[in-house]
Amino acid sequence: MSVPGINFAAFRDPVLARGLIDRIRTTVGDRELNLMEVCGTHTVSIGRYGFRSVMPAGLHLLSGPGCPVCVTANRDIDHAIALSRIDGITIATFGDMMRVPGSTSSFAAEKAAGADIRIVYSPLDALALAKANPERQVIFMSVGFETTTPTIAASILEAEAAGIDNLTVFCVNKTTPAALRAIADDPETRIDGFILPGHVSTITGVAPYRFLVDEFGIGGVVCGFEPVDILEGIEMLARMIATGTPSIENAYLRGVATGGNHVARSLCDQVFETCDATWRGLGTLPASGLRLRDAYARFDACRRFPVDVEPTREPAGCRCGDVLRGRIAPPACPLFGRACSPEHPVGPCMVSSEGSCAAYFRYREG
């Protein structure tokens, strides 16, 4: 079968991919279906391989809140910027955070003005930075989901064991299920199935998603990131919907154990406890965030370095929040590709490498 817009030479199994696309088209028929890919890496893969262009006319792939940089609230960005202005502070952050605009500034602007802000690739790099610079206080801006949290917990435990007293964490980590619940319960967004995140599920397993079926009658499939992985997940969801049998399935068996990673979860539970958290686009969601337990309060930047945070201002015209909820596709934002581009981003979805707007812009999704 010839499929315009798809380069099958890039696929590990072109024959299987062609067959899956054919089955998706047959199963969906003339139905109208909304499937949401939760993970930002899935969004990038879907764009790279042109999958939206070859889906049946009624099957819509919506991007969700799967980019941790994108869902970080403006207030939290402003708070981190305020911390960077304290004398003697070094901020360690992932590269994607540098250009994310807050209300009136960004890390990139603060660095240009003289703040000591360093790009790191893991929290262990921040720990090494603290060890190498004992005269400075190093604050690691911790942004992520369940995937990155165990490494942060391990870094804090290592710092404690080594007697490091100049490392703290500004934690805005979040947990995925609460966001899925908010979207499934949103009357303005109809989701028929979820392409569930592969990386997160290596830690959580599949059990945390079962509420989608039990409470909302919505199925989900945990997928890997190869083209065939994603097509298999879409085909499984289409079949569930066509037969009226929603369930939570694991199509990423080579990477995700049904029960997840118990050791990693225990490590996180030792160091962190749940708290309410504010998500860009979703508002404040109960028990969707993580904060350090009292036993590790000395590693909590918010408790150790209280600061005044400027009043939060959202960028005029930016619809990142609606994109993250799946209410609109990025091109529907009036700023997309005009006032907002990867070179001059207005909102975080155009900044992050996993941001929906950046992926749509790069692959010119329509």
CA 208, CA 205: separation in Å to the nearest integer?
7
Task: Note the maximum CA span of the chain.
Answer: 66
For residue 366, pLDDT over 60 is answered with no
Least confident segment among 7-21, 67-81, 222-236: 7-21
The confidence score (pLDDT) of residue 365 equals 47
Per-residue model confidence as pLDDT tens digits over 72-119: 999 999 999 999 999 999 999 999 999 999 999 999 999 999 999 999
Per-residue model confidence as pLDDT tens digits over 245-258: 999 999 999 999 99
Report helix, strand or coil for 140.
strand
Per-residue model confidence as pLDDT tens digits over 132-186: 999 999 999 999 999 999 999 999 999 999 999 999 999 999 999 999 999 999 9
Helices (H), the chain: 14-28, 40-48, 51-54, 68-71, 74-84, 107-112, 123-132, 149-162, 176-184, 198-204, 211-216, 227-243, 262-271, 301-304, 320-325, 356-363
Q: What order do you get walking across the sheet with 33-37 strand by strand?
A: 59-63, 33-37, 193-196, 219-222, 248-250
- If you average pLDDT over every residue of the chain, what do you get? 94
For residue 4, pLDDT over 60 is answered with no
For residue 10, pLDDT over 90 is answered with no
Residue 364 banded pLDDT, cuts 50, 70, 90:
confident
The confidence score (pLDDT) of residue 2 equals 44
* Domains of the chain by start residue, with CATH: 13-65+179-250 (3.40.50.11750), 69-175+260-304 (3.40.50.11740)
For residue 233, pLDDT over 70 is answered with yes
Per-residue model confidence as pLDDT tens digits over 325-349: 999 999 999 999 999 999 999 999 9
Burial annotation 102-138 (CB, 10 A radius, 16+ → b, else e):
bbebbbeebbeeebbbeebeebebbbbbbeeeeeebb
The confidence score (pLDDT) of residue 247 equals 98
Share of the chain above pLDDT 70, in %: 96
The confidence score (pLDDT) of residue 337 equals 95
The confidence score (pLDDT) of residue 15 equals 82
DSSP state of 93: E
The confidence score (pLDDT) of residue 353 equals 86
For residue 207, pLDDT over 50 is answered with yes
Share of the chain above pLDDT 90, in %: 91
For residue 236, pLDDT over 60 is answered with yes
The confidence score (pLDDT) of residue 1 equals 41
The pTM score is 0.92
CA 20, CA 43: separation in Å to the nearest integer?
19
Written as one letter, the residue type at 140 is F
163 Ramachandran zone, left/alpha/beta (phi>0; psi -120 to 50):
left
Q: Pairing between strand 283-292 and 272-279?
A: antiparallel
What phi and psi, each to the nearest 5 degrees, are found at residue 201?
A: -70, -20
Per-residue model confidence as pLDDT tens digits over 259-286: 999 999 999 999 999 999 999 999 999 9
